[in-house]
Homo-oligomer: A and B are copies of this chain.
Amino acid sequence: MSQRSKRLPRAVREQQMIDAAIQVFSERGYHSAIVTEIAERAGVSKPMVYLYLGSKEDLFLACVRSCARELTAALQEYARPELTPEQRLWQGLTAFFTFVADYPERWNVLYQQAAKHGSTIAAGVAEARDQILLDVTRLVRDDPATGQQTPPDRTRMSDKEAEFVARALVGAADSLTDWMRSYPDEGPEQVTRRLMTMVWVGMGNAHAGQIWSPPG
């Protein structure tokens, strides 16, 4: 982390600064974080941080983008076409909760710190979130029976319906990260199983066009 060699390629050095900044932003919050500490932890000078990554706001935005890129990459690993939708959802949720458990500081920057900020940063976060929603929507739209996208002539689930399910899933998963933190004996695998228990049957029903009706 704190190798001082001048020979490091720019991209590597930038990533070192970003990694240090993610730690500091996560621990202190945006407003209390100071660039001096970030520079120290990255083993570079403060002017070098400004030179490479710009203002504190620019640096924070770079952190948000880096965290979003890593989360998206972690989620996309599951998207192998040979898996059934059930397997992909299971593995996607496992990947998500594993990311949150393994990199709490990245999740903190992406979810809690970034929510507090103005338009430029909010736009960066919204972009990452939209990409994830899009991936989940595509997953939901696939036919649970065949694992393929339902052919147009027998599409039962519209984009609107798939977006509904995707938003509910993403909202539930985001919210459950707090629960996972409260119960350290429950790891990503258990959280995923519990969430699958709660939503998988209902997703199948929604896909088949069966809508719940009020009792009585």
Contact = CB atoms under 8 A, between A and B. Distances in A.
Interface of A: 84, 86-87, 90, 115-117, 160-161, 163-165, 167-176, 178-179, 182-183, 191, 193-203, 205-206, 210-216
A153 B109 CA distance: 44
A175 to B, nearest CB: 2
A87 B183 contact: no
Given A198-B203, A215-B86, A175 B164 contact: no
A212 B183 contact: no
Contact of A199 (B86, B167, B199): B199
A151 to B, nearest CB: 23
Contacts of A117: 116
B206 A87 contact: no
Nearest to A178: B167
Nearest to A215: B86
Contact of A202 (B86, B174, B175, B200): B200
Nearest to A209: B197
A168 B115 contact: no
Contact of A174 (B115, B163, B175, B183): B175
Contact of A171 (B176, B205, B215): B176
A179 B170 CA distance: 12
A216 B175 contact: no
Given A90-B215, A164-B194, 6 more contacts: A160-B183, A163-B179, A168-B195, A196-B212, A197-B206, A198-B202
A212 B192 CA distance: 9
B214 A90 contact: yes
A168 B175 contact: yes
Given A168-B172, A214-B90, A199 B197 contact: no
A160 B206 CA distance: 28
Nearest to A86: B215
